[in-house]
Structure 1
């Protein structure tokens, strides 16, 4: 007999699960405050609709059949999904977002992003998260055009008109090169003339602006769209560049990269401010507002943001 799933009810699934968990129709009735006959009849109707025997009733107590054990997990999942649906519907009715869209600058430490995602999941489990990686002014642009409700941005573009911003922390940036790169073998602080004569790998946004020249020293540049690609090219010895310390710390420790010291920048890491930004006059919903308030404390749990551990 073909299963008539359109007629299966949530109540029947609850009865099925309760009998399986309690071990008898009478115990399930007590748990659900239902008559034993109503429980037994409901499970029998479910078996009839499915065309399958869920319980073996030949013994003193009903025992799950093999197919019953298989379908029990499916029944539980259906009820769990319905509970999630109900929670989301109730939350949306109260103004809670279905999805939070977050734009993140490519220099944002992965530790901060992971901590933020975990905190959001724990606080608002029904809200999904979409993370969009951008560079420089592009973070502000996608917040302003409402593609994202929140941005984690470096200094460029974060002070644009129409944005609210809140300081989070500093990202420690250091110039690095592969060990075989000529700048890594000089054996002294690197002069401006030395640095400008070698290819510098630079992160560039989709539409070129003056921001693309921020921190550029070399006359020859290779432009990339994200920090990960920049790191791979620097590792390959194809150029040098500034990168967040949390991205290169392991490479420095394993001597896959070498820290450079430039005369004009000095020996200390360059501290780049990181901000959380939102659109002025158009704040995110409850989950987004909670995340904006929580980000400063979450950033405090990422020690390398402030340059700790730089060697």
Structure 2
């Protein structure tokens, strides 16, 4: 069995005659007929039903043809991938983003990437608490979207492109403090502090955004943290965009105790390693975030 024989069979089935199939493939009718007869001889059953006005498929021929279509599709995809790679495009691009990044900031760019480079596989990782930057430092991803401060350059040779801002709010479910306003830190110490687990980066610390003396529970997943907050298990910081609806509905309330940063804002950057060379696909993603002149 050859790919050419399967392509011949597909054309005959689609056009219903040797003549039309031969014209479509720019071959002679005898050549097509011989290709199908060889295929039938190889497997010992008739694939084409030649008794009608139009050529059709026999019962076993239908099952054979169905599988043949899968092979032809795979062959077409493989050919397209080969051309894609021959052009220097990456087979895989890896991107990680921090939970403080609003989804609409990045998914439009990813949609553009999908449209322009359909053959490139994209691995997207949602991280929290500098996890995206940690993966970049370990060279496990190509691009990271992370909260950014200039001192982060000391972590590695990074190039950072500002793409937006973020805000983290101190919140809790209203039932946690029985509907009372939280005005001082001592009130927080009586309840559990829900936090995202710290990364391995040296500037990250479990003391970050932590009140000493408060019991703390950890999770790596920001959605789990959100559900724990909604359940009244404790209080903690959460990106505004993840809690916008719950704040409007009153299922979460902002806490504003004196002597504590209850709203933290900063820059959000797309980050790459200086020593790495981005391929065409990763470069397109990078350039899509560059603001117009």
TM-score by length of 1: 0.81
> 1:149: how far off?
1.0
- 1:229 is the counterpart of 2:224: yes
2:191 counterpart SS class: coil
**Residue in structure 2 matched with residue 284 of structure 1 by the alignment:** 278
The whole-number CA distance in structure 2 between the counterparts of 1:28 and 1:72 is: 16
2:204 counterpart SS class: helix
- 1:34 is the counterpart of 2:27: yes
Asked if structure 1 preserves the Cα contact closer than 8 Å seen for 2:95 and 2:143, the reply is yes
Measured against aligned partners, the alpha-carbon deviations of 1:91-141 in whole angstroms (never above 9, x if no partner) come to: 323322111111222333344454343322211111111223433344223
Gaps of 5+ in 2: none
- 1:131 is the counterpart of 2:124: yes
Measured against aligned partners, the alpha-carbon deviations of 1:261-285 in whole angstroms (never above 9, x if no partner) come to: 4445789x54332111110021321
- Listed as ranges, the matches of 1:1-311 within 5 Å are 8-155=1-148, 158-159=152-153, 160-182=155-177, 185-186=179-180, 188=181, 190-207=183-200, 209-212=202-205, 213-217=207-211, 219-220=213-214, 221-263=216-258, 270-295=264-289
Asked if structure 2 preserves the Cα contact closer than 8 Å seen for 1:190 and 1:261, the reply is yes
Going from structure 1 to structure 2, the CA distance change for 1:30 and 1:141 (only over 3 Å counts) comes to same
Asked if structure 2 preserves the Cα contact closer than 8 Å seen for 1:158 and 1:275, the reply is no
Going from structure 1 to structure 2, the CA distance change for 1:218 and 1:206 (only over 3 Å counts) comes to same
Q: Which moved more, 1:31-40 or 1:44-53?
A: 44-53
Asked if structure 1 preserves the Cα contact closer than 8 Å seen for 2:137 and 2:156, the reply is no
Going from structure 1 to structure 2, the CA distance change for 1:215 and 1:30 (only over 3 Å counts) comes to same
The whole-number CA distance in structure 2 between the counterparts of 1:24 and 1:130 is: 45
Going from structure 1 to structure 2, the CA distance change for 1:53 and 1:295 (only over 3 Å counts) comes to farther
Measured against aligned partners, the alpha-carbon deviations of 1:240-298 in whole angstroms (never above 9, x if no partner) come to: 1121233223333444323334445789x54332111110021321111111112457x
Going from structure 1 to structure 2, the CA distance change for 1:288 and 1:124 (only over 3 Å counts) comes to same
2:175 counterpart SS class: coil
Going from structure 1 to structure 2, the CA distance change for 1:158 and 1:73 (only over 3 Å counts) comes to farther
> 1:42: how far off?
1.3
Asked if structure 1 preserves the Cα contact closer than 8 Å seen for 2:129 and 2:199, the reply is no
The whole-number CA distance in structure 2 between the counterparts of 1:51 and 1:185 is: 80
1:274 counterpart SS class: strand
The whole-number CA distance in structure 2 between the counterparts of 1:250 and 1:185 is: 19
> 1:238: how far off?
1.3
Going from structure 1 to structure 2, the CA distance change for 1:113 and 1:158 (only over 3 Å counts) comes to farther
TM-score by length of 2: 0.85
Gaps of 5+ in 1: 1-7, 298-311
Aligned pair count reads 287
1:185 counterpart SS class: coil
